[in-house]
Structure 1
């Protein structure tokens, strides 16, 4: 089972716009760290990651320690792989999103279903009150033609 952090949108947005962030290692964040960060609108983190990786690479070549520069760049990628989802949650918080809670599920679809069931039970709106006056659109149409049985005809005793 995976754990998903549910992020609710800022006030004024639709409730359907919630984001589910899986709390786990992210392979795309490890393999292509700056691109993954930019994909999730974390521009500052993406730029810093790219700059740090470039500096480590250049410093390794200048000092004749290509292996050390590559290993240090690998450590930066590992950091993004392990902490990328936490960085994503922090980025959403800075943009006004708030943490709704945590959902445990096997996959994203199950997490969305569990979240929908939990939010469906608790509603801010009060249930509709029963109508005292019947709605005229739901009344039966008047009967035309001949009717069988005991009926009262106006003008006849």
Structure 2
């Protein structure tokens, strides 16, 4: 199962929410600069381009070609591991809010679980005015985790999360 971070736009409904899968981004490993540009992450693309230029310049110095190769692989590995978390941070900078984390086997299943979580939140809000529930049920593992503020796997925490 994979974890998906659900980001809701500042304007618009839940149908415009973005599900960002947590995990290794192969295309970000192969071509980090272009991956950042594709996702409109301008600052990250500029930083990746500057780092690539610096490492390339280091590789032209005599005796540093092996170190430059290792540094380039390390940079690509770091970007591939953290690209999805950087995308979530970029969306948060642009005013998007984190709804929560959904565990699912596929993207379609994650969307279904997200929508069912929205429906259950709406039903709970309507039931609060009538009568309290007879018992409270804890969510099962692998279900919608709701509006948690815990970071997903990765090196960075999300802005505003504590």
TM-score (norm 1): 0.75
Deviation string 1:80-116 (CA, Å, 9 cap, x unpaired) is 1011111001000000001000100001000001111
Residue 5 (structure 1) aligned with residue 38 (structure 2): no
* Distance (whole Å) between structure 2 residues aligned to residue 63 and residue 83 of structure 1: 32
- 4+ residue stretches of structure 1 with deviation over 4 A? 124-127
In structure 2, the residue matched to 1:74 is 73
Secondary structure of the equivalent of 2:4? strand
In structure 2, the residue matched to 1:147 is none
In structure 1, the residue matched to 2:93 is 94
Shift of residue 70 of structure 1?
1.5
* Distance (whole Å) between structure 1 residues aligned to residue 58 and residue 30 of structure 2: 21
The answer for unaligned runs of 5 or more in structure 1 is 128-157
* Distance (whole Å) between structure 2 residues aligned to residue 73 and residue 91 of structure 1: 24
Secondary structure of the equivalent of 2:40? coil
* Distance (whole Å) between structure 2 residues aligned to residue 98 and residue 117 of structure 1: 18
- Choose 1 or 2 for highest CA Rg: 1
In structure 2, the residue matched to 1:41 is 40
The answer for unaligned runs of 5 or more in structure 2 is 128-162
Deviation string 1:45-78 (CA, Å, 9 cap, x unpaired) is 1111111111111112123322211211111111
TM-score (norm 2): 0.73
The size of the alignment, in residue pairs, is 126
Deviation string 1:128-155 (CA, Å, 9 cap, x unpaired) is xxxxxxxxxxxxxxxxxxxxxxxxxxxx
